Amino acid sequence: MIANADTKPAAKRPRKMAREPRDEEAVHVPTTAEVEPAKRQSKADLILDMLQRPEGASIEQLVSATSWLPHTTRAVLTGLRKKGHPVFSEKLDGVRRYRIGGGTS
């Protein structure tokens, strides 16, 4: 097909918007002072909280709270010691309990 000099290129149609833009006044964008990010508690923080209780926590309690294996839980206790937390353990009635802070009471 040969292009004639008399033909004009096809005019582009205006694009349709998927939705109409919103009014700037109608949209409320919260400022950083209004938005308070919720702090998500990690499993290590959960262990730290459990160890700070007066009665401390046993390995079984820590394992059930974190769904970790016992050797992983003990490794976290070692990591807490290396970070400078005074982790104490005591065996009462055949159950070893771990605690941060003071030793036996």
φ, ψ of residue 89 in degrees (nearest 5): -130, 150
Report the predicted TM-score, pTM, of the whole model to 2 decimal places.
0.59
DSSP E strands, 5-83: 57-58
Our separate counts of H helices and E strands in the chain read 3, 3
pLDDT at 83 over 60: yes
pLDDT at 13 over 90: no
pLDDT at 40 over 50: yes
CB atoms within 10 A of CB 73: 21
The better pLDDT of the pair 37, 21 is held by 37
Q: Given pLDDT bands bounded at 50, 70 and 90, which one contains residue 105?
A: very low
pLDDT at 53 over 50: yes
Among candidate residues 104, 105, 92, the one with its CA nearest the CA of residue 58 = 92
Domain 43-100 has what CATH class? mainly alpha
Please report, for the chain, the start and end positions of each structural domain, with discontinuous segments joined by +: 43-100
